[in-house]
Amino acid sequence: MASTQQASELPDTPTLPNTHSGIPTRLLDKARRAKTLIWQGRSVPASQIPRTEPALPQGVSRTTFNTAIVELTQQLGAANVELNDKPAVDNGWYMEHPNTHDMMHVTDEDALVASAAVYPSSTAEVQLIVRWANQYRIPIFPISMGRNLGYGGAAPRVRGSVVVDLGKRMSNILNIDPDDYTCLLEPGVSFYALYEAIKAKGYDHMWVDTPDLGGGSVIGNTLDRGVGYTPYGDHWATHAGLEVVLPTGEIIRTGMGALPGSNTWQAFPYGFGPVQDGLFSQSNFGIVTKMGMTLMPNPGGHESFMYAFERDSDLAPLIEIIRPLRICNVLENVAQVRSAVQTIAVQGRPRTDFFTGSGAIPQEVIDKEVSKLPCGKCAWLYYGMSYGPAYIRQYKLDAIDKEFRKIPGARKVDPQTIPRDNYFWSRDQIAAGVPDLEELLWCNWVPNGSHIAFSPVSPIRGKDAKQLMELARRRHTEHKIDLFPAFCVGLREMHLIVEIVFDKTKPEARKAAMDCMRGMVDDAAKLGYGEYRTHLALMDQVAGTYNWNDNALMKLNERLKDALDPQGILAPGKSGIWPKRYRARGWEMGVGDEGVEGKGVEPEAGSVRL
Ligand code: ADP
């Protein structure tokens, strides 16, 4: 690959606590390896955008924008208002990501970009920014860390929005309560940072639940309803209390936080009256400036296990076996059923190491390559963890073993035979609440590798797993894309996560990825499956599938949006919710229409200072 900067000359990844978004020093070697592999796989070293002026949001003239920026700069300080007016020199990588666009863009690179990024240092400054946005009717888009890769990264939905990067200066851990097992966080606290802080305090009796990678913020991940892999994997379900700046600038606290002097804000999530927290998840109704989170008690022991299943057709009976075990909590964490091809790819090696032909990678190549790995020849792998002291684990592991072996040829892979650098040990860390950095290595499958995720929810039923796999396979074959499926099994539903890995520098690869995604979303909806989360570019389409009773839910969302955000300044279009001044002007993206911009916004009827 042609890369102007040699991988061996790469500067080290910034570390915690020097920067809020840094890597813990314990993971520096992994970061070096990941970064080197990415640079080796780059055929285009730098962004193609020769930018000299910020992209402006529709409805805002350059004069108004410039006046507004001068005013905000006076209030926040020059260092805290950064125009996006320079050529984007590099797209970074997971640990050193841009905050003005999606570095894994599936649209044109210049389509979903910010005009500026601003850095508040307090809730009061977030209020100030919101009021400023109302005064000039400039759309703003909040991020905590901006690492929501696969779902849009740091990109705003409306081109030219001002990104409110909360994490940079609001990254305090406000409290860790070792008795109640709770914490209170600002937006810039990553899973890495929270884990390291708990360790530094010697609180070994408490665990943090972590997603596949630990660089995202606890707040951003939770608001987008991300999952982790301990028994506390449902982050939204385990959060407790929000502080929110509303789109008109008022501050509220939810749950017990509404009671002045409350001593149970993180201990009881509901308070009195309607539970408003849901309004602020996957929405554009407020900016969260503080969030409480519950922490898991250290279970006093843990043990990872892995089973290999030989045939593709083992999936359906396996899912049937998993369901009762999961509901009864014998399988205790969000368990992963992964495909063999993903296990090959997570080694971080390019696809061309295995296959140089065209079209999807053939089954015989997958079979040959997976046979060389510790798991041996298989179609599916189950990664699980048992918790508690040895005698308690044994009881559960025996029950699991007895059930899993009902599938002919099922094999338990002895962890003693698995080398320490195998991905199994990364899953082991993650399921034990230790944030890691391996997951995205499969992005190196193609040059300039990027990914976008198809994430439908289904019952934990064999027939549903089969049906979803069939529709995904059909669309992947149609678009000649390798299929990377993994099932994440929750308590009463499972998410299928299909990652499409594409070369972001190739318009035809981006188009194939989008066409495949759009096809799968529609196919899934026809069969009764909806996505639990999606990329910015698919939000209109996915929101459109939740249309029961003549779009009753979206009508409610729009009424709420109009009431809470009359000027429509906060993250317009997020989750398919468009403010009044954007509606019926063609802003929605959908099948056959990948243009991200609409035809203007409602003309200004006079600015409003709140
Ligand atoms: P991560 O912390 O995982 O990198 P992001 O910062 O990229 O997550 O945010 C994920 C999603 O949640 C985005 O859609 C973003 O707009 C939204 N979001 C993140 N932080 C906040 C916040 N503090 N208030 C409101 N929405 C937020």
pLDDT band at 335 (very low <50, low <70, confident <90, very high): confident
Helices 462-478, 315-327: inter-axial angle, 10-degree rounding: 130
pLDDT band at 87 (very low <50, low <70, confident <90, very high): confident
pLDDT at 434: 98
317: buried, middle or exposed (CB in 10 Å: 19+, 13-18, 0-12)? Answer: middle
Mutate to test the pocket of ligand 1, among 99, 145, 148, 170 (most ligand atoms within 8 A of CB): 148
Tell me what the mean pLDDT of segment 389-396 comes to: 97
Catalytic residue, from 427, 532, 581, 582: name it. Answer: 532
* In the block, residue with structure tokens 């640079």: 39
pLDDT at 2: 42
> Are 2 and 43 spatial neighbours (Cβ–Cβ below 8 Å)?
yes
44: buried, middle or exposed (CB in 10 Å: 19+, 13-18, 0-12)? Answer: middle
Mark whether 533 is an active-site residue: yes
Residue whose CA lies nearest to ligand 1 atom number 12: 220
Tell me what the mean pLDDT of segment 46-57 comes to: 80
Ligand 1 centroid distance, CA of 91 (Å): 19
> Of ligand 1's atoms, which has the minimum distance to the CA of residue 154?
7
For residue 7, pLDDT beyond 80:
no
pLDDT at 50: 74
Tell me what the mean pLDDT of segment 447-475 comes to: 97
Catalytic residue, from 383, 533, 581, 582: name it. Answer: 533
pLDDT band at 360 (very low <50, low <70, confident <90, very high): confident
pLDDT at 89: 60
Whether omega before 120 lies within 30 degrees of 0, making that bond cis, reads no
Global pTM value = 0.96
**Per-residue model confidence as pLDDT tens digits over 556-610:** 999 999 999 999 999 999 999 999 999 999 999 998 888 899 999 998 655 555 5
Ligand 1 centroid distance, CA of 588 (Å): 21
**Per-residue model confidence as pLDDT tens digits over 175-186:** 999 999 999 999
> Of ligand 1's atoms, which has the minimum distance to the CA of residue 221?
3
| Average per-residue pLDDT for the chain | 94
Mutate to test the pocket of ligand 1, among 223, 281, 577 (most ligand atoms within 8 A of CB): 223
Percentage of residues in the chain with pLDDT exceeding 70? Answer: 96
> Of ligand 1's atoms, which has the minimum distance to the CA of residue 571?
16
The DSSP result for 306-344, as a single string, is EEEE--GGGHHHHHHHHHHHHHTTSS-S-EEEEEHHHHH
pLDDT at 592: 80
pLDDT band at 44 (very low <50, low <70, confident <90, very high): confident
Mutate to test the pocket of ligand 1, among 126, 224, 227, 575 (most ligand atoms within 8 A of CB): 224
For residue 376, pLDDT beyond 80:
yes
**Per-residue model confidence as pLDDT tens digits over 10-32:** 999 999 999 999 999 999 999 99
Catalytic residue, from 94, 136, 151, 307: name it. Answer: 151
| Lining residues, ligand 1, CB within 6 Å | 142-148, 154, 166, 187, 216-217, 219-221, 223-224, 287-288, 571
**Per-residue model confidence as pLDDT tens digits over 517-566:** 999 999 999 999 999 999 999 999 999 999 999 999 999 999 999 999 99
